[in-house]
Amino acid sequence: MRALRIGEDVLASDGSRFGQVERLVVDEGAHQVTHLVVDDRVIPLEHIRDAGPDGLSADLSPDELSKLPRHEEAGFAAPGEHWQAPPGYGLANFLAVAGALLGNAPYLPPVEADLTPGEVFHEISAGSPVWAGDNRIGHVVELLTNDRGRTTELVIAREGLLGKQVVVPIAKVIEVVGVNVQVELNETDVALLEPYRREEA
């Protein structure tokens, strides 16, 4: 587990500085940090890694980061009245996942997270349904990794296209709920997905 500090730097995938951590978004019901607000953009925690003395890094390019929603567009709420700020933090440093389970007892939000590479995607496996909004676009065939063992792309078999296989960048994965994979793709994006070509050994 790694403490997430307000004001620490966040680097883009090319090593450039994207901004600083401004707020932590916490799901009270799950008692976990789900997103970071950096330069007013909301970054899902699965895209964040520990960069050692440099702070944190995101596996997204500066362009991808700049297209993420602003925190006021993301539907998060102010902390509940029963929240208490951990030492070194203020309640203004937090946002809450709207609609999460709310309690009445004093609640101390977490400020630590597991940033182990690939951990977030452990529930994705062959056969996992892939959804773009309310449309099931296919199912996972396999996960592609880089030489450091980090998941970089999903190979999915398209729905209703006789098993046509395409590649979805892992950066397009919004969340994984159970075995269901939600991706941020519109109808045009889905139609333009690159076909998967297996590399010859």
* Predicted local distance difference test score (pLDDT) of residue 152: 82
> Average pLDDT, stretch 59-83?
90
Structure token digits, residue 101: 């389970």
**Run of H or E including 62:** helix 62-66
pLDDT digits (tens, 9 = 90+) for 75-116: 899 998 899 999 999 999 999 987 655 556 788 888 888 776
201 falls in which pLDDT band (50, 70, 90)?
A: very low
Structural domain count of the chain? 2
Full domain range(s) for residue 126: 119-191
- Is residue 201 assigned to a domain? no
My answer on whether 126 and 103 are in the same domain is no
- Is residue 197 assigned to a domain? no
The beta strands (E) that lie in 91-172 are given as 94-96, 112-113, 129-132, 135-145, 151-158, 165-169
- Is residue 52 assigned to a domain? yes
My answer on whether 107 and 124 are in the same domain is no
